[in-house]
């Protein structure tokens, strides 16, 4: 079981993700919108943040940069967006996120990908 935080301004999509991941046995919390994201990411034992790319006021990549400056323990981060898969993947690489998943992917794809990212070891490049 992983502790997952979803940060997304779309309550319908974040509710769907929360339900699916909770049914799979994960402890999931949701923050609707980006504000408070750095504080929420400080949560002890947080394993993963699923972060929407496009949110009003503060986009996902900028929030990720703030989270990395503000938190000691760094949970894995998956960007999610309505963008096409390839540009989303490139954006995730550019910002050193641990992965990306388009919102258009099926519910099964979401769970499988989350499990894949959680299982993958983080590689440090020095």
Q: How many domains does the chain have?
A: 1
Using the structure block, give the residue that is written with the tokens 């499990």: 115
- Which residue range is the domain that position 55 belongs to? 3-119
CB 42 within 8 A of CB 51: no
pLDDT in the model for residue 39: 78
Question: Could you tell me the CATH number of the domain that includes residue 72?
Answer: 3.40.50.2300
**Taking a C-beta distance cutoff of 8 angstroms, is the pair 66, 49 a contact?**
no
pLDDT reading at 108 higher than 70: no
Structure tokens at 18: 């929360």
- What is the mean predicted confidence (pLDDT) over 59-88? 88
Report pTM. Answer: 0.88
């Amino acid at each position: 079981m992983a502790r997952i935080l979803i940060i997304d301004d779309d309550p319908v999509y974040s509710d769907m993700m929360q339900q699916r991941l909770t049914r799979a046995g994960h402890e999931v919390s949701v923050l609707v919108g980006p504000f408070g994201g750095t504080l929420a990411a400080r949560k002890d034992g947080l394993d993963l943040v699923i972060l929407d790319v496009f949110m009003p006021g503060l986009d996902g990549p900028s929030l990720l940069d703030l989270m990395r400056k503000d938190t000691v323990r760094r949970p894995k981060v998956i960007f999610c967006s309505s963008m096409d898969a390839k540009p989303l993947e490139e954006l995730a690489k550019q910002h050193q996120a641990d992965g990306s998943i388009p919102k258009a992917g099926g519910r099964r794809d979401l769970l499988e990908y989350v499990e894949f990212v959680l299982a993958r070891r983080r590689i440090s490049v020095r």
